[in-house]
């Protein structure tokens, strides 16, 4: 399926920033330089260019925040419509379809006033996809996306209960809590996907927790700014070119961190 935003980003940003942004937003990896792709593997950060639930989560959260004044039910309906449009734009990638089904099920639960059960939504989404195409069970993207999401959901259960009390304990304690929870979520996702990564890539990244913590905080700004640049550049290139400078900065930071950590001795072990 043709994506009109990919050519726009290629004309607005230099390499490797353009190919990295296309990977993060749309899962396009064909134009990425081999050295950057290998660096992402060595640092355990390849998942950022695998179109996954992160894109859907950010889209749903932003839409919910913007449309919340319309009420929860109306906000849920608008968010579901945008999720469907997003999938149509980027194509039916297995991981994004799973994430889209999961997001729509979660939003439907909100619409009908029921509790949002992340694990149940995940298994329902995976089950529906496998009923449609059982061969997906052998798809690497599907496996990694499912296991990483499962790890994050399970690790995030206690965090949701404790977050409210920590907000009242000062900036230093809030930062400690944020750091601890992000480390826990990162390690959980890495742990759940480790068997699949070892089996397929025969490589174990020793710097993955550090790398993910160092770059995680810029992924959401990159996605929000990246979508803005892509739409603006598609509509009117001069506007997109002006906005592209704002996304170039975090992209360059991410590339620098990944390349630097990939050069650390014993950053990853091959076997």
Of 28-32, 166-170, 173-177, the range with the highest mean pLDDT is 28-32
Task: Give SS3 for 175.
Answer: helix
Closest CA to 20 of 10, 11, 100: 10
> Which stretch of 16-30, 73-87, 148-162, 231-245 has the lowest confidence by average pLDDT?
148-162
Residue with tokens 């149940």: 120
Q: Indicate the angle between helix axes 53-67 and 208-235, nearest 10 degrees.
A: 60
**Residue 121: band (very low, low, confident or very high) from pLDDT cuts 50, 70, 90:** confident
pLDDT of residue 50: 66
Tell me the longest C-alpha to C-alpha distance in the chain: 55
The band of 149, judged by pLDDT with boundaries at 50, 70 and 90, is: confident
Q: Looking at residues 236-244, what average pLDDT do you find? A: 91
Digit-coded pLDDT (tens) for 17-62: 999 998 888 777 777 899 999 999 899 888 788 665 556 666 676 7
Query: Three-class SS string for 109-124?
Result: HHHCCCCCCHHHHHHH
Quote the pLDDT of residue 94. Answer: 67
Mean pLDDT, to the nearest integer, of 63-76? 76
Predicted local confidence at residue 137, as pLDDT: 87
Q: What is the pLDDT of residues 261-271, one digit of tens each?
A: 999 998 888 87
Give residues with Cβ within 8 angstroms of 126, minimum separation 6.
98, 142, 146
pTM of structure: 0.76
* pLDDT tens, residue by residue, 196-206: 888 887 888 88
Parse the chain into domains and list their residue ranges: 1-44+207-271
């Amino acid at each position: 399926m043709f994506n009109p935003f990919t050519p726009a980003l290629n004309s607005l940003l230099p390499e490797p920033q353009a190919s990295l942004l296309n990977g993060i937003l749309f899962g396009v990896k064909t134009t990425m330089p081999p050295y950057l792709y290998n660096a992402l593997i060595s640092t355990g950060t390849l998942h950022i260019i695998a179109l996954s639930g992160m894109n859907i989560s950010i889209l749903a959260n932003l839409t919910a925040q913007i449309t919340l004044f319309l009420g929860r039910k109306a906000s849920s309906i608008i968010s579901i419509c945008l999720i469907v449009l997003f999938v149509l734009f980027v194509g039916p990638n297995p991981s994004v379809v799973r994430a889209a089904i999961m997001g729509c099920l979660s939003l439907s639960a909100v619409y009908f006033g029921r509790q949002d059960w992340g694990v149940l939504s995940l298994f329902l989404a995976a089950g529906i996809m496998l009923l449609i195409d059982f061969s997906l069970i052998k798809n690497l993207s599907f496996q990694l996306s499912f296991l990483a999401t499962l790890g994050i959901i399970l690790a995030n259960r206690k965090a949701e209960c404790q977050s409210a009390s920590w907000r009242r304990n000062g900036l230093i304690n809030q930062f400690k809590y944020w750091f601890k929870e992000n480390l826990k979520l990162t390690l959980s996702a890495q742990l759940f996907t480790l068997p699949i990564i070892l089996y397929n890539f025969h490589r174990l990244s020793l710097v993955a927790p550090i790398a993910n913590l160092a770059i995680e905080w810029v992924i959401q700004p990159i996605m929000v700014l990246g979508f803005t640049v892509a739409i603006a550049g598609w509509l009117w290139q001069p506007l997109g070119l002006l906005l592209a400078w704002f996304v170039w900065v975090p992209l360059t930071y991410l590339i620098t961190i990944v390349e630097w950590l990939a050069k650390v001795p014993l950053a990853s072990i091959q076997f």
